[in-house]
Amino acid sequence: MSRSDSLSLPVLSPGTGPVRVLLVEPGEALASALPAALRALTAYRMDSASCGPEAVSMLTDRAGVGYDLVVTPWSTAATSGREILHALRRAGGDRTAVLSWLPRAQLSQLPAAMEAGAAAVLVEPVTAELLGEELGRLIGSRRPVTVAPQINCTFQCIVGGNSAMRATMQLVEEVAPSEANVLVLGATGTGKELIARAIHCKSPRRTGPFVAVNCSAIPEGLIESELFGHRKGAFTGAVADHRGVFESANGGTLLLDEIGDLSPAVQVRLLRAIQERRVHPVGADGSRPVDVRIVAATHQPLLERIAEGAFREDLYYRLAVVELELPPLRERREDILSLAEHFLRRSANRVGRAVPRLSTDVVRVLLAHSWPGNVRELENAMERAMLLSRGDQIELTVLPPRLRRPADPAPTDDPFPTLAELEQRQIARVLAHTEGRRGEAARLLGIDRKTLYRKLEALGLSDLPDGPAPDAASACPTDPA
Protein backbone atom coordinates (compact mmCIF):
# COMPACT_ATOMS: atom_id res chain seq x y z
CA MET A 1 0.00 0.00 0.00
CA SER A 2 -0.13 1.14 -1.10
CA ARG A 3 -2.60 4.53 -0.80
CA SER A 4 -6.03 5.33 -2.07
CA ASP A 5 -7.19 8.11 -4.34
CA SER A 6 -10.25 8.52 -2.08
CA LEU A 7 -8.17 9.60 0.90
CA SER A 8 -6.82 13.04 1.65
CA LEU A 9 -3.14 13.72 1.29
CA PRO A 10 -0.50 12.81 3.89
CA VAL A 11 1.20 15.57 5.82
CA LEU A 12 4.58 15.29 7.48
CA SER A 13 4.62 15.07 11.22
CA PRO A 14 6.09 18.07 13.07
CA GLY A 15 9.74 17.49 13.75
CA THR A 16 10.53 15.28 10.75
CA GLY A 17 12.01 18.35 9.10
CA PRO A 18 10.90 20.35 6.06
CA VAL A 19 10.71 18.64 2.69
CA ARG A 20 13.51 19.87 0.38
CA VAL A 21 12.36 20.41 -3.18
CA LEU A 22 14.25 21.37 -6.33
CA LEU A 23 12.00 22.92 -8.99
CA VAL A 24 13.52 22.91 -12.49
CA GLU A 25 12.57 25.36 -15.25
CA PRO A 26 9.16 26.18 -13.81
CA GLY A 27 6.47 27.56 -16.06
CA GLU A 28 4.30 30.35 -14.72
CA ALA A 29 1.39 28.07 -13.81
CA LEU A 30 3.51 25.47 -12.01
CA ALA A 31 5.62 28.10 -10.23
CA SER A 32 2.46 29.33 -8.50
CA ALA A 33 0.66 25.99 -8.09
CA LEU A 34 3.56 24.02 -6.59
CA PRO A 35 4.17 26.18 -3.48
CA ALA A 36 0.44 26.21 -2.75
CA ALA A 37 0.27 22.40 -3.02
CA LEU A 38 3.36 22.00 -0.83
CA ARG A 39 1.99 24.36 1.82
CA ALA A 40 -1.17 22.25 1.99
CA LEU A 41 0.93 19.15 2.57
CA THR A 42 3.87 19.98 4.77
CA ALA A 43 6.66 22.34 5.73
CA TYR A 44 9.06 22.70 2.83
CA ARG A 45 12.17 24.41 1.49
CA MET A 46 12.35 24.94 -2.26
CA ASP A 47 15.27 25.75 -4.52
CA SER A 48 14.80 26.68 -8.17
CA ALA A 49 16.88 26.00 -11.26
CA SER A 50 16.12 28.16 -14.27
CA CYS A 51 17.22 25.48 -16.72
CA GLY A 52 18.25 21.84 -16.98
CA PRO A 53 22.04 22.42 -16.97
CA GLU A 54 21.75 24.56 -13.83
CA ALA A 55 19.80 21.75 -12.16
CA VAL A 56 22.48 19.21 -13.10
CA SER A 57 25.14 21.53 -11.65
CA MET A 58 23.18 22.01 -8.42
CA LEU A 59 22.62 18.28 -7.99
CA THR A 60 26.29 17.57 -8.57
CA ASP A 61 27.61 20.38 -6.36
CA ARG A 62 25.25 19.67 -3.49
CA ALA A 63 25.42 15.88 -3.80
CA GLY A 64 21.66 15.64 -4.53
CA VAL A 65 21.06 13.54 -1.41
CA GLY A 66 19.75 16.66 0.36
CA TYR A 67 16.61 16.79 -1.79
CA ASP A 68 13.49 14.80 -1.07
CA LEU A 69 11.88 15.72 -4.38
CA VAL A 70 12.95 17.04 -7.78
CA VAL A 71 10.16 18.49 -9.96
CA THR A 72 11.20 18.85 -13.60
CA PRO A 73 9.74 18.84 -17.10
CA TRP A 74 10.81 15.74 -19.01
CA SER A 75 12.10 17.89 -21.87
CA THR A 76 13.75 21.12 -20.75
CA ALA A 77 15.16 23.85 -22.97
CA ALA A 78 18.74 22.55 -22.96
CA THR A 79 18.69 19.11 -21.43
CA SER A 80 16.32 16.27 -20.62
CA GLY A 81 14.70 14.74 -17.59
CA ARG A 82 16.76 11.63 -18.24
CA GLU A 83 20.01 13.62 -17.83
CA ILE A 84 18.72 15.18 -14.62
CA LEU A 85 17.86 11.72 -13.30
CA HIS A 86 21.32 10.42 -14.20
CA ALA A 87 22.97 13.41 -12.48
CA LEU A 88 20.88 12.80 -9.39
CA ARG A 89 21.81 9.10 -9.22
CA ARG A 90 25.51 9.83 -9.78
CA ALA A 91 25.35 12.29 -6.86
CA GLY A 92 24.00 9.55 -4.59
CA GLY A 93 20.41 10.77 -4.44
CA ASP A 94 18.86 7.31 -4.62
CA ARG A 95 16.19 8.27 -2.09
CA THR A 96 15.15 11.40 -3.99
CA ALA A 97 11.85 11.18 -5.87
CA VAL A 98 11.55 12.75 -9.31
CA LEU A 99 8.19 14.14 -10.43
CA SER A 100 8.10 15.03 -14.12
CA TRP A 101 5.55 16.14 -16.67
CA LEU A 102 5.24 16.29 -20.43
CA PRO A 103 2.81 17.69 -23.03
CA ARG A 104 0.03 15.43 -24.27
CA ALA A 105 1.62 15.56 -27.74
CA GLN A 106 4.67 13.77 -26.26
CA LEU A 107 2.67 11.02 -24.54
CA SER A 108 4.75 8.38 -26.34
CA GLN A 109 7.72 9.39 -24.15
CA LEU A 110 5.90 8.50 -20.93
CA PRO A 111 7.03 4.83 -20.74
CA ALA A 112 10.66 5.89 -21.31
CA ALA A 113 10.40 8.44 -18.49
CA MET A 114 9.07 5.84 -16.07
CA GLU A 115 11.67 3.27 -17.10
CA ALA A 116 14.42 5.87 -16.61
CA GLY A 117 13.43 6.21 -12.94
CA ALA A 118 10.85 9.00 -12.66
CA ALA A 119 8.61 8.26 -9.68
CA ALA A 120 5.65 9.94 -11.37
CA VAL A 121 5.00 11.52 -14.75
CA LEU A 122 2.03 13.84 -15.27
CA VAL A 123 0.52 14.75 -18.63
CA GLU A 124 -0.29 18.40 -19.26
CA PRO A 125 -2.49 20.16 -18.46
CA VAL A 126 -1.50 19.47 -14.84
CA THR A 127 -4.34 20.37 -12.51
CA ALA A 128 -3.70 21.57 -8.97
CA GLU A 129 -5.68 18.58 -7.64
CA LEU A 130 -3.59 16.05 -9.58
CA LEU A 131 -0.36 17.81 -8.62
CA GLY A 132 -1.33 17.79 -4.95
CA GLU A 133 -2.28 14.11 -5.07
CA GLU A 134 1.03 13.07 -6.62
CA LEU A 135 3.05 15.26 -4.25
CA GLY A 136 1.28 13.72 -1.29
CA ARG A 137 1.90 10.21 -2.56
CA LEU A 138 5.61 10.79 -3.22
CA ILE A 139 6.35 12.73 -0.04
CA GLY A 140 4.38 10.33 2.15
CA SER A 141 6.19 7.29 0.75
CA ARG A 142 9.59 8.73 1.70
CA ARG A 143 8.97 9.60 5.34
CA PRO A 144 8.40 7.21 8.26
CA VAL A 145 5.65 9.37 9.77
CA THR A 146 2.62 10.84 8.02
CA VAL A 147 -0.21 12.85 9.47
CA ALA A 148 -3.56 13.46 7.80
CA PRO A 149 -5.33 16.15 9.88
CA GLN A 150 -8.68 15.16 8.37
CA ILE A 151 -9.37 12.30 5.97
CA ASN A 152 -12.05 12.36 3.29
CA CYS A 153 -14.16 9.52 4.64
CA THR A 154 -15.91 8.47 1.46
CA PHE A 155 -13.97 5.25 1.85
CA GLN A 156 -14.31 3.23 -1.36
CA CYS A 157 -10.82 1.89 -1.96
CA ILE A 158 -11.12 -1.60 -0.48
CA VAL A 159 -12.05 -3.57 -3.56
CA GLY A 160 -13.28 -7.12 -3.83
CA GLY A 161 -15.92 -9.60 -2.79
CA ASN A 162 -13.82 -12.33 -1.20
CA SER A 163 -15.69 -13.83 1.76
CA ALA A 164 -12.77 -13.31 4.17
CA MET A 165 -12.49 -9.64 3.16
CA ARG A 166 -16.25 -9.17 3.48
CA ALA A 167 -16.07 -10.60 7.00
CA THR A 168 -13.15 -8.29 7.79
CA MET A 169 -15.00 -5.22 6.58
CA GLN A 170 -18.08 -6.25 8.55
CA LEU A 171 -15.90 -6.45 11.67
CA VAL A 172 -14.46 -3.01 10.83
CA GLU A 173 -18.01 -1.62 10.70
CA GLU A 174 -18.79 -3.15 14.10
CA VAL A 175 -15.60 -2.17 15.93
CA ALA A 176 -14.95 1.28 14.41
CA PRO A 177 -17.49 3.22 16.54
CA SER A 178 -15.87 1.93 19.75
CA GLU A 179 -12.67 3.07 21.43
CA ALA A 180 -11.13 -0.43 21.37
CA ASN A 181 -7.53 -0.79 20.21
CA VAL A 182 -7.19 -2.95 17.10
CA LEU A 183 -4.37 -5.21 15.91
CA VAL A 184 -4.24 -5.78 12.14
CA LEU A 185 -2.27 -8.83 11.01
CA GLY A 186 -1.28 -9.70 7.46
CA ALA A 187 1.62 -10.17 5.09
CA THR A 188 3.37 -7.15 3.60
CA GLY A 189 1.28 -5.54 0.87
CA THR A 190 -2.13 -6.86 1.96
CA GLY A 191 -3.54 -3.41 2.81
CA LYS A 192 -3.14 -3.08 6.57
CA GLU A 193 -2.93 0.73 6.44
CA LEU A 194 -6.11 0.90 4.38
CA ILE A 195 -7.93 -1.06 7.08
CA ALA A 196 -6.54 1.28 9.75
CA ARG A 197 -7.77 4.29 7.76
CA ALA A 198 -11.18 2.63 7.33
CA ILE A 199 -11.44 2.19 11.12
CA HIS A 200 -10.57 5.86 11.60
CA CYS A 201 -13.00 7.00 8.89
CA LYS A 202 -15.90 5.09 10.40
CA SER A 203 -15.18 6.15 13.99
CA PRO A 204 -16.26 9.21 16.03
CA ARG A 205 -12.60 10.31 15.75
CA ARG A 206 -12.81 10.83 11.97
CA THR A 207 -12.63 14.63 12.34
CA GLY A 208 -9.34 14.27 14.24
CA PRO A 209 -5.90 13.49 12.81
CA PHE A 210 -4.87 10.12 11.45
CA VAL A 211 -1.16 9.54 12.13
CA ALA A 212 0.77 6.62 10.70
CA VAL A 213 4.28 5.69 11.86
CA ASN A 214 6.37 2.87 10.43
CA CYS A 215 8.21 1.60 13.49
CA SER A 216 10.73 -0.36 11.42
CA ALA A 217 11.74 2.74 9.41
CA ILE A 218 12.95 4.78 12.40
CA PRO A 219 16.48 4.23 13.77
CA GLU A 220 16.56 2.57 17.20
CA GLY A 221 18.13 5.63 18.82
CA LEU A 222 15.31 7.92 17.64
CA ILE A 223 12.22 5.76 18.12
CA GLU A 224 11.40 7.01 21.65
CA SER A 225 11.73 10.61 20.52
CA GLU A 226 9.52 9.95 17.50
CA LEU A 227 6.84 8.24 19.60
CA PHE A 228 6.83 10.39 22.73
CA GLY A 229 8.67 13.60 21.73
CA HIS A 230 11.69 15.29 23.33
CA ARG A 231 12.72 18.54 24.95
CA LYS A 232 15.31 20.88 23.55
CA GLY A 233 18.80 19.79 24.66
CA ALA A 234 17.69 16.28 25.64
CA PHE A 235 20.44 14.82 23.42
CA THR A 236 22.92 15.91 20.77
CA GLY A 237 20.99 17.35 17.86
CA ALA A 238 17.85 18.15 19.87
CA VAL A 239 17.89 21.83 18.92
CA ALA A 240 14.19 22.40 19.61
CA ASP A 241 11.25 20.82 21.41
CA HIS A 242 9.65 18.06 19.34
CA ARG A 243 6.14 16.64 19.60
CA GLY A 244 5.98 12.88 19.21
CA VAL A 245 3.37 11.03 17.19
CA PHE A 246 1.21 10.39 20.26
CA GLU A 247 0.71 14.13 20.73
CA SER A 248 0.36 14.69 16.97
CA ALA A 249 -2.51 12.15 16.95
CA ASN A 250 -4.24 13.67 19.98
CA GLY A 251 -7.99 13.38 19.48
CA GLY A 252 -7.54 11.00 16.56
CA THR A 253 -6.11 7.63 15.56
CA LEU A 254 -2.49 6.45 15.71
CA LEU A 255 -1.36 3.63 13.42
CA LEU A 256 1.75 1.88 14.75
CA ASP A 257 2.84 -0.10 11.69
CA GLU A 258 5.32 -2.97 12.03
CA ILE A 259 4.81 -2.99 15.79
CA GLY A 260 6.64 -6.32 16.04
CA ASP A 261 9.96 -4.59 15.30
CA LEU A 262 10.01 -2.52 18.49
CA SER A 263 12.76 -3.31 20.98
CA PRO A 264 11.82 -4.63 24.47
CA ALA A 265 12.80 -1.32 26.09
CA VAL A 266 10.51 0.69 23.83
CA GLN A 267 7.74 -1.86 24.33
CA VAL A 268 7.83 -1.11 28.08
CA ARG A 269 7.43 2.64 27.51
CA LEU A 270 4.71 2.08 24.92
CA LEU A 271 2.76 -0.14 27.31
CA ARG A 272 2.95 2.52 30.01
CA ALA A 273 1.77 5.24 27.61
CA ILE A 274 -1.22 3.15 26.54
CA GLN A 275 -2.16 2.22 30.11
CA GLU A 276 -1.78 5.69 31.60
CA ARG A 277 -2.84 7.64 28.48
CA ARG A 278 0.13 9.91 29.14
CA VAL A 279 3.51 10.34 27.45
CA HIS A 280 6.83 11.37 28.94
CA PRO A 281 8.95 13.20 26.32
CA VAL A 282 12.66 12.44 26.37
CA GLY A 283 14.39 14.96 28.65
CA ALA A 284 11.13 16.34 30.09
CA ASP A 285 10.46 16.70 33.81
CA GLY A 286 6.90 15.43 33.66
CA SER A 287 4.35 13.65 31.50
CA ARG A 288 1.55 14.95 29.29
CA PRO A 289 -1.97 13.55 28.79
CA VAL A 290 -2.87 12.16 25.36
CA ASP A 291 -6.15 10.93 23.91
CA VAL A 292 -5.48 8.55 21.03
CA ARG A 293 -6.90 5.33 19.69
CA ILE A 294 -4.25 2.78 18.76
CA VAL A 295 -4.37 0.64 15.64
CA ALA A 296 -1.27 -1.57 15.47
CA ALA A 297 -0.21 -3.61 12.45
CA THR A 298 2.42 -6.23 11.75
CA HIS A 299 3.31 -9.02 9.35
CA GLN A 300 5.00 -10.95 12.16
CA PRO A 301 3.31 -13.75 14.17
CA LEU A 302 3.24 -11.97 17.53
CA LEU A 303 2.21 -15.05 19.51
CA GLU A 304 5.36 -16.79 18.27
CA ARG A 305 7.39 -13.68 19.17
CA ILE A 306 5.88 -13.80 22.65
CA ALA A 307 6.86 -17.47 23.03
CA GLU A 308 10.41 -16.52 22.00
CA GLY A 309 10.52 -13.73 24.59
CA ALA A 310 10.82 -11.05 21.90
CA PHE A 311 7.43 -9.39 22.43
CA ARG A 312 5.64 -8.55 25.68
CA GLU A 313 2.47 -10.52 26.30
CA ASP A 314 0.85 -7.71 28.30
CA LEU A 315 1.46 -5.27 25.44
CA TYR A 316 -0.03 -7.74 22.96
CA TYR A 317 -3.28 -7.94 24.95
CA ARG A 318 -3.42 -4.15 25.24
CA LEU A 319 -3.12 -3.83 21.46
CA ALA A 320 -5.23 -6.82 20.40
CA VAL A 321 -8.55 -5.95 22.03
CA VAL A 322 -9.88 -6.69 18.55
CA GLU A 323 -7.74 -8.63 16.09
CA LEU A 324 -8.18 -8.54 12.31
CA GLU A 325 -6.25 -10.75 9.91
CA LEU A 326 -6.01 -9.91 6.21
CA PRO A 327 -5.71 -12.82 3.77
CA PRO A 328 -2.90 -12.84 1.21
CA LEU A 329 -3.93 -12.13 -2.37
CA ARG A 330 -3.40 -15.75 -3.41
CA GLU A 331 -6.36 -16.59 -1.16
CA ARG A 332 -8.49 -13.87 -2.79
CA ARG A 333 -8.25 -14.97 -6.42
CA GLU A 334 -11.83 -13.94 -7.11
CA ASP A 335 -10.74 -10.33 -6.33
CA ILE A 336 -7.68 -10.23 -8.61
CA LEU A 337 -9.43 -9.01 -11.76
CA SER A 338 -11.55 -6.37 -10.01
CA LEU A 339 -8.45 -5.08 -8.21
CA ALA A 340 -6.45 -5.03 -11.45
CA GLU A 341 -9.19 -3.06 -13.22
CA HIS A 342 -9.43 -0.64 -10.27
CA PHE A 343 -5.68 0.08 -10.42
CA LEU A 344 -5.81 0.47 -14.22
CA ARG A 345 -8.64 3.00 -13.94
CA ARG A 346 -6.71 5.00 -11.36
CA SER A 347 -3.52 5.02 -13.45
CA ALA A 348 -5.46 5.92 -16.61
CA ASN A 349 -7.11 8.87 -14.86
CA ARG A 350 -3.71 10.17 -13.76
CA VAL A 351 -2.36 10.34 -17.31
CA GLY A 352 -5.60 11.30 -19.03
CA ARG A 353 -6.06 8.10 -21.05
CA ALA A 354 -8.93 5.78 -21.75
CA VAL A 355 -8.89 2.68 -19.54
CA PRO A 356 -7.45 -0.27 -21.50
CA ARG A 357 -8.93 -3.74 -21.17
CA LEU A 358 -7.04 -6.84 -20.08
CA SER A 359 -6.27 -9.35 -22.81
CA THR A 360 -7.28 -12.96 -22.27
CA ASP A 361 -3.62 -13.96 -21.93
CA VAL A 362 -3.06 -11.32 -19.25
CA VAL A 363 -6.16 -12.46 -17.35
CA ARG A 364 -4.82 -16.02 -17.26
CA VAL A 365 -1.40 -14.89 -16.05
CA LEU A 366 -2.87 -12.68 -13.33
CA LEU A 367 -5.03 -15.51 -12.07
CA ALA A 368 -2.21 -18.06 -12.13
CA HIS A 369 0.43 -15.90 -10.38
CA SER A 370 1.10 -16.58 -6.69
CA TRP A 371 1.40 -12.84 -5.78
CA PRO A 372 4.06 -12.98 -3.05
CA GLY A 373 3.91 -9.16 -2.87
CA ASN A 374 0.11 -9.27 -2.49
CA VAL A 375 -2.11 -6.33 -3.47
CA ARG A 376 0.85 -3.93 -3.58
CA GLU A 377 2.58 -6.13 -6.18
CA LEU A 378 -0.59 -6.18 -8.29
CA GLU A 379 -0.94 -2.40 -8.00
CA ASN A 380 2.64 -1.84 -9.16
CA ALA A 381 2.21 -4.33 -12.02
CA MET A 382 -0.91 -2.56 -13.27
CA GLU A 383 0.70 0.88 -13.01
CA ARG A 384 3.66 -0.36 -15.06
CA ALA A 385 1.33 -2.01 -17.59
CA MET A 386 -0.71 1.16 -17.95
CA LEU A 387 2.38 3.27 -18.58
CA LEU A 388 4.03 0.92 -21.05
CA SER A 389 0.94 -0.07 -23.05
CA ARG A 390 0.24 1.83 -26.28
CA GLY A 391 -3.06 0.42 -27.43
CA ASP A 392 -6.49 -0.11 -25.94
CA GLN A 393 -5.54 -3.49 -24.49
CA ILE A 394 -3.01 -4.66 -21.90
CA GLU A 395 -0.83 -7.38 -23.43
CA LEU A 396 1.62 -9.82 -21.87
CA THR A 397 4.63 -7.85 -23.13
CA VAL A 398 4.00 -4.93 -20.72
CA LEU A 399 3.68 -7.07 -17.59
CA PRO A 400 6.72 -7.36 -15.28
CA PRO A 401 9.02 -10.22 -16.36
CA ARG A 402 8.40 -12.14 -13.13
CA LEU A 403 4.72 -12.45 -14.06
CA ARG A 404 5.48 -13.73 -17.55
CA ARG A 405 7.60 -16.60 -16.20
CA PRO A 406 5.85 -19.91 -15.44
CA ALA A 407 4.05 -19.68 -12.12
CA ASP A 408 5.62 -21.36 -9.14
CA PRO A 409 3.27 -24.20 -8.24
CA ALA A 410 3.47 -23.45 -4.53
CA PRO A 411 4.52 -20.19 -2.82
CA THR A 412 7.60 -20.64 -0.67
CA ASP A 413 5.83 -19.20 2.38
CA ASP A 414 2.94 -21.67 2.05
CA PRO A 415 4.39 -25.20 1.91
CA PHE A 416 1.06 -26.81 2.85
CA PRO A 417 -1.69 -25.25 0.72
CA THR A 418 -5.30 -26.27 1.26
CA LEU A 419 -7.10 -28.58 -1.14
CA ALA A 420 -9.16 -25.59 -2.35
CA GLU A 421 -5.95 -23.67 -3.16
CA LEU A 422 -4.50 -26.65 -5.00
CA GLU A 423 -7.70 -26.95 -7.01
CA GLN A 424 -7.59 -23.24 -7.88
CA ARG A 425 -4.01 -23.51 -9.09
CA GLN A 426 -4.66 -26.64 -11.13
CA ILE A 427 -7.69 -25.14 -12.86
CA ALA A 428 -5.75 -21.93 -13.62
CA ARG A 429 -2.78 -23.95 -14.92
CA VAL A 430 -4.92 -26.10 -17.20
CA LEU A 431 -6.87 -23.10 -18.53
CA ALA A 432 -3.59 -21.40 -19.34
CA HIS A 433 -2.43 -24.54 -21.17
CA THR A 434 -5.65 -24.73 -23.22
CA GLU A 435 -5.63 -20.96 -23.90
CA GLY A 436 -8.96 -20.62 -22.11
CA ARG A 437 -10.83 -23.37 -23.98
CA ARG A 438 -13.08 -24.69 -21.23
CA GLY A 439 -14.21 -27.84 -22.98
CA GLU A 440 -10.61 -28.93 -23.51
CA ALA A 441 -9.74 -27.90 -19.93
CA ALA A 442 -12.61 -29.97 -18.55
CA ARG A 443 -11.40 -32.99 -20.53
CA LEU A 444 -7.84 -32.65 -19.16
CA LEU A 445 -9.15 -32.19 -15.62
CA GLY A 446 -11.30 -35.32 -15.94
CA ILE A 447 -14.58 -33.51 -15.24
CA ASP A 448 -17.52 -32.51 -17.40
CA ARG A 449 -17.96 -28.97 -18.69
CA LYS A 450 -20.85 -28.18 -16.31
CA THR A 451 -18.72 -29.14 -13.31
CA LEU A 452 -15.91 -26.87 -14.53
CA TYR A 453 -18.33 -23.96 -14.95
CA ARG A 454 -19.67 -24.59 -11.44
CA LYS A 455 -16.14 -24.57 -9.99
CA LEU A 456 -15.26 -21.38 -11.89
CA GLU A 457 -18.37 -19.72 -10.49
CA ALA A 458 -17.48 -20.83 -6.96
CA LEU A 459 -14.02 -19.31 -7.43
CA GLY A 460 -15.48 -16.06 -8.75
CA LEU A 461 -14.03 -16.66 -12.22
CA SER A 462 -17.21 -17.29 -14.19
CA ASP A 463 -16.77 -14.09 -16.22
CA LEU A 464 -13.36 -15.19 -17.49
CA PRO A 465 -13.60 -14.98 -21.29
CA ASP A 466 -13.63 -18.29 -23.12
CA GLY A 467 -10.64 -19.10 -25.28
CA PRO A 468 -10.63 -19.29 -29.06
CA ALA A 469 -12.29 -22.21 -30.72
CA PRO A 470 -9.87 -24.87 -31.91
CA ASP A 471 -9.07 -24.77 -35.60
CA ALA A 472 -10.39 -27.45 -37.94
CA ALA A 473 -7.16 -29.43 -37.91
CA SER A 474 -7.14 -29.79 -34.15
CA ALA A 475 -10.91 -30.24 -33.84
CA CYS A 476 -11.29 -32.92 -36.51
CA PRO A 477 -8.02 -34.76 -37.05
CA THR A 478 -7.98 -36.77 -40.27
CA ASP A 479 -7.15 -40.47 -40.38
CA PRO A 480 -3.60 -40.80 -41.71
CA ALA A 481 -4.76 -43.82 -43.65
Q: pLDDT tens digits for 12-50?
A: 333 345 677 888 876 666 666 677 677 666 666 777 777
Which residue type sits at 341? E
Model pLDDT, residue 6: 27
pLDDT at 143 > cutoff 70: no
Query: What percent of the chain shows pLDDT beyond 70?
Result: 72
Q: pLDDT tens digits for 399-414?
A: 988 887 654 444 444 5
Range of weakest confidence among 407-411, 414-418, 421-425, 442-446:
407-411
Interval 98-112 mean pLDDT:
72
Range of weakest confidence among 12-26, 173-187, 208-222, 240-254:
12-26
**What span, in angstroms and rounded, lies between the C-alpha atoms of 197 and 169?**
12
Beta strand 288-289 pairing with 278-279 = antiparallel
| Residues contacting 305, CB < 8 A, separation 6+ | 260, 311
Model pLDDT, residue 7: 26
- The pLDDT confidence band at residue 140, using thresholds 50, 70 and 90, is low
Task: Kindly state the helix (H) or strand (E) to which residue 322 belongs, with its residue range.
Answer: strand 322-325
Residue pair 302/260 in contact (Cβ under 8 Å)? The answer is yes
Which residue type sits at 252? G
**What span, in angstroms and rounded, lies between the C-alpha atoms of 418 and 416?**
7
Residue pair 184/196 in contact (Cβ under 8 Å)? The answer is yes
Contacts by 341-348, CB closer than 8 A, 24 or more apart:
342/159, 343/378, 343/379, 343/382, 343/383, 343/386, 344/382, 344/385, 344/386, 344/394, 346/5, 347/382, 347/383, 347/386, 347/387, 348/386
Interval 346-372 mean pLDDT:
85
Query: Exposed, middle or buried, 473 (CB in 10 Å: 0-12/13-18/19+)?
Result: exposed
Interval 132-142 mean pLDDT:
66
**What span, in angstroms and rounded, lies between the C-alpha atoms of 254 and 200?**
9
- The pLDDT confidence band at residue 447, using thresholds 50, 70 and 90, is confident
pLDDT at 11 > cutoff 80: no
pTM of this prediction exceeds 0.95: no
Interval 59-72 mean pLDDT:
69
Model pLDDT, residue 79: 65
Where is pLDDT greater, at 451 or 16?
Answer: 451
Q: What are phi and psi of 358, to 5 degrees?
A: -85, 130
Interval 412-418 mean pLDDT:
55
Model pLDDT, residue 31: 64
CA nearest to 359, candidates 387, 396, 386, 328: 396
Interval 433-449 mean pLDDT:
77
Model pLDDT, residue 406: 54
Beta strand 210-214 pairing with 182-185 = unpaired
DSSP 398: G
- The pLDDT confidence band at residue 178, using thresholds 50, 70 and 90, is very high
Model pLDDT, residue 3: 32
- The pLDDT confidence band at residue 82, using thresholds 50, 70 and 90, is confident
